[in-house]
Amino acid sequence: MIKYLLFDLDGTITDPKEGITKSVQYALSKLGIEENCENLLKFIGPPLLNSFMDFYDFDKEKAELAIKYYRERYSTIGLFENSAIEGIEEVLSKLKEAGFVLAIATSKPTHFAIPICEKYNLDKYFDLILGSELDGTRSKKSEVILEVLNKLNAIPNESIMIGDRMHDIIGAKEAGIKSIGVTFGYAEDGELEESGADFIVESSSELLSCIFKLI
């Protein structure tokens, strides 16, 4: 029986496309790289440090500088260049009414995740909103998930991770819990299947049905 629901934020609860891609574009520009925002969608989901190192072959020092530039824009403008996923508030409301314990488990720093949820008045549905630290610690998804489980005193076999990228699915596996992959976020074709999601849904209404079947 599932009691604890851990949600990713970007691409699962909110659509952060504009804020993230424009802030990455800004950071790259400061480093002499001009890039089209449509080519930066891959930055939505994974930890920023890994993304700058993997996608642009930056060493750790340069990636950390890129994050510094990214946050110059994101902390003041990009943070609120997003929107709630269609139908997601109704899902959260019904799950809360049904007695589930809801939490945000994101690779985004908690410092940014909380005000985003507050902006859309979604914070009221969550017992805990937790992400990485600004210094880069606890950025691995499994570390975030394990910390959420610990703070909620949650039992792993009563918990499930809901997210739109392979990092959510792999993180759930590493933390010893099941996962639901949502295709309305930013996963590439086949990504959720290949990463081993236990369930895959295509809409917020289908997500709700899937969760209630697990009771």
* Euclidean distance between CA atoms 8 and 68, whole angstroms: 23
- Amino acid identity of 40? L
Q: Mean of the pLDDT values across residues 103-108? A: 96
Q: Which residues pair with 15 in a beta bridge?
A: 83
Q: Residue 201 is encoded by which pair of tokens? A: 């849904």
pLDDT at 100 exceeding the cut of 90: yes
- One domain, residues 68 and 89: no
| Contacting residues for 27 by C-beta, under 8 A, at least 6 apart | 52, 66, 67, 69, 70, 72, 73
Catalytic residues: 8
Phi, psi of 140 (to 5 degrees): -70, 135
pLDDT value for 135: 87
Ramachandran category for residue 75: left, alpha or beta (phi over 0 → left; psi -120 to 50 → alpha): alpha
pLDDT value for 136: 78
Which residue range is the domain that position 135 belongs to?
4-15+83-213
Residue pair 91/212 in contact by the 8 Å Cβ criterion: no
pLDDT tens sequence across 107-143? 999 999 999 999 999 999 999 999 999 987 898 999 9
Rounded to the nearest integer, the mean pLDDT of the chain is 97
Q: Is the pTM of this model over 0.75?
A: yes
pLDDT at 179 exceeding the cut of 90: yes
- One domain, residues 52 and 131: no
Count CB-CB contacts under 10 A for residue 23. Answer: 27
Confidence of residue 215 (pLDDT cuts 50, 70, 90): confident
- One domain, residues 71 and 93: no
- One domain, residues 103 and 148: yes
